[in-house]
Structure 1
C-alpha cells in the first residue's frame, strides 16, 4: 500500500529522499561528540622536581619511592617513569578505558601522600603535582619576537607569567608544560673568593633570605585613632630586592675593623632565568614553547580550536613584535 503510493508519485518520492539526504548532511556538523565511546585510556601523571640532582639521584630518591607506593590501584594497566638530569621526575599511570579520571586522580593522590614523608625535603618544598592529562602532546605553542626586541629569557618569562595559567583553564586542556622558566636573580660565586674570606654557600643563602624579605611594621594612624586622625598607612621597613645592584650590596659579614664583606666581593649578580637547561629556537629565532596535553576524555579538535581562539584573543595584549606560532599541531 505505502510502496504503491510512492511508485505512482516518483517526483514526490525524489523530493522526500533529497530532504532526508540534506538533513543528514547538515547533521554531520552537529553530532554530539559525547555519544562516542571512550577509546583512549585515561592517564594520571605525578611530577616532582629535585633541583641540582643528577638523573640517577632523582631516580633513586624520588621516582622509585613514589613508584613503590603506587601499588594496588584498581583498574591500573601499567605505569612508566622518567628521570632526567635537570632534576625532573615524571610518572605516568594508565588506567583501563572507561575508568573515571576523577576517581583515579583521587586514588593516586592518596597513594602519593604515603610517599611524601620519604621524599627529600627540598622536593617537598617544591611540591609534587598530580594531574589528569594524556601522555602525548596535542600541540606546541611558540612565542617569537619578529623584530628581535625580546630574547629567549624575555619570551619564556612572558609565557609562564601571562599565558600558562590562562591556557590551563581552557576546556579540554589537561596540562600546560612550559619549556623554560621565569626571570630569576642569578648569583655567581667565586670559590676562591669564598675561601679567601672564610665564607660558605650557606652563609650567602642565609644573607639573601634575611635581606630579601618584605617586613610590615604595623600601621601609621591605625585604630583606635585620636580625634581628628584622617591618615592611615601601612609601614614597610624593608621590601623585596629587585635589581642586581641591590643583591650585590647584601652584607655577608662585618669584620672587627668595621669593613663589610658583600656579595659583590665574592661573586657577581645578574638578572637571568631560573634554569638554562632548555633553549628553544624556531627557524633560528629564540622562542618560548608551551606544550599542551589534553585532559582525559577531551576532544582533540575542539580543544585545539579553543586554545587557538584564546591565544588569538590574548594576542591583542602582546608586546610589540611578539607573534604566536605552532611548530607542532596534531
Structure 2
C-alpha cells in the first residue's frame, strides 16, 4: 500500500486516470447488476417428502418416517435429522454441516432413500427429495377475478394465464391455489355395490381399463410405416354410466346400475379469497439464480399482452409484487447512502475548515462507491439489502481513512515540510 501511495503522489495524472477508469467501469457495471431483495444463499438442508394416501399418523411414523430415518442417519456430516408425520404424509428434514457440499449431500440422501423404498408399503408414492431453495418462494402472485364460477375461472387460469406466465423469461414454476379443476366423478352406492357383491376396487379397475388409449403397433406397407392406436378414451362424461364393471350370470353390471357419473371437479385442497370472495390465485416462482426484478417485469409484460385475449368479464389483478418491496428498500438505502455522504463531507468541512479537504472527501466517497460496482459485477453480486448496507458502511470507513490521512498531511504541512513529502 505504501508503494501504491508513493506512485499516486509522484504521478498524479496517472492516479487520476486510474480513478476515472474505475469510475467509468463501475458506472457501466451498475446498469448491468441484478436487483434482488436478499443475496442468494445455499442452505445445507435437504427434505424428503413421502405420501401414502389413507394412512394414519401412527402408520406414517412407524412404517415410513422411521424406516427412512434409519438409512439416512448413516450419511456423514448430518447436523440435525427430524421428521414430521401427518395423515398420509411424511416429511423428513436433513440439515448438514455448513462445510458439506449440498449437491453431494442431496445425492447421498437420494441413494439412501432408494435403498429404503424396498422396505416401505407397496402403495406409497415415490418420495420427493429436494434441496431447500430460497428461490422457491413466490415472487409474484396474481388473482383471476370475474363474475364466473370457480371452475370456469380455474379453466382460464390453468389453460390461458398459467401457460402465458410459464413462457416468461426466468419463470421456473407457476402454481394454482384455490382452484377447482375439472374431473369426471364416479359416485357409487354402497348398498347397491354390496347387493351385487362387487368390490370397490373392481369399479376403479374397470374405469381405468376402459378409459385409455392403447398403442396398436405398426403397419408397414411398402416403404411406408404407420402407427396404430386404439381409441378407448371416453369423450362424453355421460358415457361413463355405460361402462361395464362386472358380469354376473351372463348379465353385464354397468356403472349406472351401482351409481352414477357426473362432470364435476376434483376435491378442493386449497382455498383463496380476494375481498371475501372465493377466487383463483397463481403463484409465480423464479428459476434458481434468476434475477427477481427481471422475472417479475417479464411476467407483468406478458400479463399486459394477455389482457386483450381474456374474456371481457375476467381480469388479472396483481395482489403481491415482490419488486415493489425491493425498490422501496433500495430507495431508502440509496437515500441514506447519499445523505451519509453529504453529512460526512460537512463534518470534514466543519472540523478541517478547508474547502480543499472537503472536495477531496466529496470526490473520494462517490468514486469508491461507483468503483465498487465493477467488482460486484465481476463477482456476480446483486444489488440487494445486504450489499447496499455494506456500501453505506463503506462510506464511514472511507471518510474515516480520509480524515486521518488529511489531518496528518495538514500537520506535516504546518511543520513546514515539503508538500510532496507531507503527502
Q: Structure 1 length normalisation: TM-score?
A: 0.71
For residues 119 and 190 of structure 1, the distance between their equivalents in structure 2, rounded to whole angstroms, comes to 33
1:79-108 deviation digits (Å, cap 9, x = unpaired): 3433333x3333232333354332122111
Aligned to 1:265: 257
- Offset at residue 204 of structure 1 (A): 0.7
Alignment of 1:103-182 (within 5 A): 103-123=104-124, 126-134=125-133, 138-139=137-138, 141-149=140-148, 151-152=150-151, 155=154, 158-159=157-158, 163=162, 179=177, 182=181
1:281 equivalent to 2:273? Answer: yes
The equivalent of 1:223 in structure 2 is 220
| 8 Å Cα contact 2:63/2:121 also seen in 1 | yes
Shift of 1:172: 8.7
Contact 1:48 1:88 in 2 (8 A): yes
Q: Distance in 2 between matches of 1:70 and 1:64?
A: 10
Unpaired segments of 5 or more residues in structure 2?
Answer: 1-5, 326-423
Structure 2: how far apart are the matches of 1:185 and 1:256? 29
Q: Distance in 2 between matches of 1:243 and 1:47?
A: 37
Taking the aligned partners of 1:319 and 1:83, their CA distance within structure 2 comes to: 43
Match 2:76 to one of 69, 74, 77: 74
Conserved 8 A contact 2:48-2:93: yes
Partner of 1:197: 196
Root mean square deviation, CA, Å: 4.5
Q: d(CA) in 1 for partners of 2:134 and 2:52? A: 22
Q: For residue 67 of structure 1, give the secondary structure of its aligned residue in structure 2.
A: helix
Instruction: Give yes or no for the alignment of 1:309 onto 2:298.
Output: yes
1:234 to 196, 210, 228: 228
The DSSP-based 3-state class of the residue aligned with 1:276 is coil
Contact 1:139 1:326 survives alignment (8 Å): no
* Corresponding residue for residue 243 of structure 1: 236
- CA spacing shift, 1:96–1:38, aligned 2, 3 Å: farther
**Equivalent position of 2:95 in the other structure:** 94
Cα pair 1:157 1:181 within 8 Å, conserved: no
Q: Is the 8 A contact 1:214 1:239 kept in 2?
A: yes
1:212 and 2:206 matched: no
Q: Considering fraction of residues, name the structure with more helix.
A: 2
In our comparison, the structure showing a higher alpha carbon Rg is 2
Deviation at 1:116, TM superposition (A): 0.7
Compare 72-81 and 199-208 and name the one that shifted more: 72-81
1:272 Cα offset (Å):
3.9
Measure, in 2, the Cα distance between the counterparts of 1:149 and 1:72: 54
Look up the match of 1:323: 316
TM-score, with length taken from structure 2: 0.57
Between Structure 1 and Structure 2, how many residues are aligned? 309
User: Residue 254 of structure 1 aligns to a residue in which SS?
Assistant: strand
CA-to-partner distance for each residue in 1:231-275, whole Å, 9 max, x for gaps? 967352x412243212222112334374x4221222232344444
Q: Do the aligned residues in 2 keep the contact of 1:42 with 1:134 (CA within 8 Å)?
A: no
CA contact (8 A) 1:46 1:92 kept: yes
Alpha-carbon distance in structure 2 between the residues aligned to 1:153 and 1:90: 34
What corresponds to 2:61 in structure 1?
Answer: 59
What is the alpha-carbon distance in structure 2 between the residues aligned to residue 291 and residue 279 of structure 1? 17
CA contact (8 A) 2:165 2:303 kept: no
Q: Deviations over 1:269-303 (max 9, x none)?
A: 234444423222333232144374874xx46xx14
Structure 1 residues 193 and 84, CA gap change in structure 2 (3 angstroms)? same
CA gap 1:67/1:230 in 2 versus in 1, 3 angstroms: closer
Task: State the 1:139 CA deviation.
Answer: 1.7
Residues 38 and 13 (structure 1), Cα distance of their counterparts in 2 relative to 1, 3 Å cut: closer
Quote the offset at 1:55 in angstroms: 3.5
